[in-house]
């Protein structure tokens, strides 16, 4: 099913979302985030942060003592509390569901652990036709902890939307082929060309697992979803278009009939931004390497942009960071709509008070169009003075 305007499904009452879903009963239907994702310019520029739920918060570290990462993700009460913590502290315009991209792999029965200091590690790499064929189907009943965690969270968030989250097919496949983290994903890229049929079957599997994961969150109450492609920057544009793009579209198609806004984000994605925008999304997250105005040029005017504060500058003196945030907002004013965010996730050493201060600054700039242009010069001068001090 292809839907040219997914939000029309909600307006016409054709979405399978339950009647008590926040988009259906009105709690989040007109929230600044949802309006911006659908192309509107709300009176208040929405802002949230990737990885806002987690390592930078002392309350998170205290809660996680003695609990492994994947165990925390699959404990509904804990996952819900972690998701809510940054909303309470920073007053951001969305919660992002606390999870990990390999959670659906674990739920499907894949042998994967998150090793502290290293990342996801599989019991054995998946590199052969036989290994791909042996991958188990994801039993819908395995998603029960995710459904419960989302429902708990949405009940507490009220009018603040929750964003569902999943890893993109390529990133999941890269971990599975490599067997763990990799700097350049040579084994995955080799399989892509050496055995394209096996590669395609693997990405179909990861697309369907991620898609089911997204759909479970949306049906349980998430008002938007984000597909996160951590390693897309390791691909050439030709490889992305020929061997990856259609699988990302397949993952996102799992929620197409629901009418929830969809965001697609990738790290190092500058060369494929236009292609990422064409897989069936309302918004594209842009990392810190490409100015938002240039991203709009590459993607066209019909996409909301998300981003793209450089996470490194969270450690800079406030005048430097403030100037940067204002410039990001000014650049984003050229898009149909803008959701302020980082160009990647919150570094674990970030001072949480800095994030709160950014939220206050962004909210004080109104819609981000007239509010951003005027003060830039003054902030820039202050930032230059602060940088030199």
pLDDT, averaged across the chain: 92
Kindly tell me if the per-residue pLDDT of 186 is higher than 50.
Answer: yes
- Please report the pLDDT score of residue 32 as a whole number: 98
pLDDT bucket at 369, cuts 50 / 70 / 90: confident
DSSP E strands, 14-156: 95-96, 112-115, 119-122
- Please report the pLDDT score of residue 57 as a whole number: 97
168 CB-near residues (< 8 Å, 6+ apart): 210, 227, 228, 229, 230, 232, 248, 251, 264, 266
**Using one digit for the tens of pLDDT, what is the confidence trace for 328-351?**
999 999 999 999 999 999 999 999
Kindly tell me if the per-residue pLDDT of 368 is higher than 90.
Answer: no
- Please report the pLDDT score of residue 15 as a whole number: 85
With CA atoms as reference, report the closest residue to 201 among 260, 104, 269, 129: 129
Q: Packing angle between helix 318-332 and helix 376-388, nearest 10 degrees?
A: 150
Kindly tell me if the per-residue pLDDT of 371 is higher than 80.
Answer: no
pLDDT bucket at 384, cuts 50 / 70 / 90: very low
- The whole-number average pLDDT for the span 371-388 is 35
- 72 in helix, strand or coil? helix
- The whole-number average pLDDT for the span 201-221 is 98
283 CB-near residues (< 8 Å, 6+ apart): 36, 37, 261, 262, 263, 264, 303, 304, 305, 306, 337, 339
- Please report the pLDDT score of residue 212 as a whole number: 98
Top-level class of domain 7-388: alpha beta
- Please report the pLDDT score of residue 385 as a whole number: 27
With CA atoms as reference, report the closest residue to 215 among 2, 15, 62: 15
Q: Where are the domains positioned within the chain?
A: 7-388
pLDDT bucket at 166, cuts 50 / 70 / 90: very high
**Using one digit for the tens of pLDDT, what is the confidence trace for 292-333?**
999 999 999 999 999 999 999 999 999 999 999 999 999 999
- The whole-number average pLDDT for the span 371-378 is 40
Alpha-carbon span 293 to 241, nearest angstrom: 23
- Please report the pLDDT score of residue 374 as a whole number: 41
**Using one digit for the tens of pLDDT, what is the confidence trace for 85-129?**
999 999 999 999 999 999 999 999 999 999 998 999 999 999 999
For 151-188, b/e burial (b = at least 16 CB within 10 A) is ebbbeebeebbbbbbbbbbbbbbbbbbbbeebeebeeb
**Residue 75 dihedral angles phi and psi, to the nearest 5°:** -100, 105
- The whole-number average pLDDT for the span 244-272 is 97
Structure tokens, 149:
């965690």
- Please report the pLDDT score of residue 1 as a whole number: 40
Catalytic residues: 51, 55, 64, 100, 175
**pLDDT > 70 fraction of the chain, expressed in percent and rounded:** 92
- Please report the pLDDT score of residue 39 as a whole number: 97
């Amino acid at each position: 099913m292809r839907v040219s305007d997914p939000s029309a499904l909600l307006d016409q009452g054709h979405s399978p979302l339950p009647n008590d879903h926040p988009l259906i009963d009105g709690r989040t239907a007109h929230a600044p985030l949802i309006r911006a994702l659908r192309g509107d310019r709300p009176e208040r520029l929405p802002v949230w942060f990737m990885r806002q739920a987690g390592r930078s918060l002392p309350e998170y570290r205290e809660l996680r003592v003695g609990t492994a990462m994947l165990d925390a993700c699959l404990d509904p009460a804990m996952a819900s509390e972690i998701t809510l913590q940054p909303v309470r502290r920073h007053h951001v315009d969305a919660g992002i569901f606390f999870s990990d991209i390999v959670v659906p792999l674990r739920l499907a029965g894949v042998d994967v652990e998150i090793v502290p200091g290293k990342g996801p590690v599989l019991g054995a790499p998946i590199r052969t036709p036989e290994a791909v064929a042996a991958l188990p189907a994801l039993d819908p009943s395995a998603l029960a902890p995710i459904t419960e965690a989302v429902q708990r969270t949405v009940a507490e968030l009220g009018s603040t939307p929750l964003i569902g989250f999943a890893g993109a097919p390529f990133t999941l496949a890269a971990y599975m082929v490599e067997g763990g983290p990799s700097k350049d994903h040579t084994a995955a890229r080799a399989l892509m060309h050496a055995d394209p049929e096996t590669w395609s079957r693997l990405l179909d599997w990861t697309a369907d697992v991620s898609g089911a994961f997204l759909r479970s969150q949306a049906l349980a109450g998430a008002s938007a979803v984000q597909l996160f492609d951590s390693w897309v920057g390791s691909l050439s544009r030709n490889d992305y278009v020929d061997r990856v793009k259609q699988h990302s579209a397949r993952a996102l198609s799992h929620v197409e009939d629901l009418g929830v806004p969809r965001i697609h984000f990738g790290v190092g994605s500058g060369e494929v931004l236009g292609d990422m925008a064409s897989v069936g999304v309302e918004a594209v997250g842009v990392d810190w390497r490409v100015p938002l105005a240039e991203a709009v040029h590459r993607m066209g005017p019909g996409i909301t942009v998300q981003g793209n504060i450089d996470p490194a500058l969270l450690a800079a003196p406030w005048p430097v960071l403030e100037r940067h945030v204002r410039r990001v907002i000014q650049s984003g004013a050229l898009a149909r709509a803008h959701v302020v965010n980082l160009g990647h996730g919150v570094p674990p050493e970030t001072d949480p008070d800095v994030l709160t201060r950014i939220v206050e600054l962004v909210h004080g700039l109104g819609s981000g169009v007239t509010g951003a242009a005027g003060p830039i010069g003054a902030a820039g001068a202050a930032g230059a003075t602060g940088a030199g001090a």
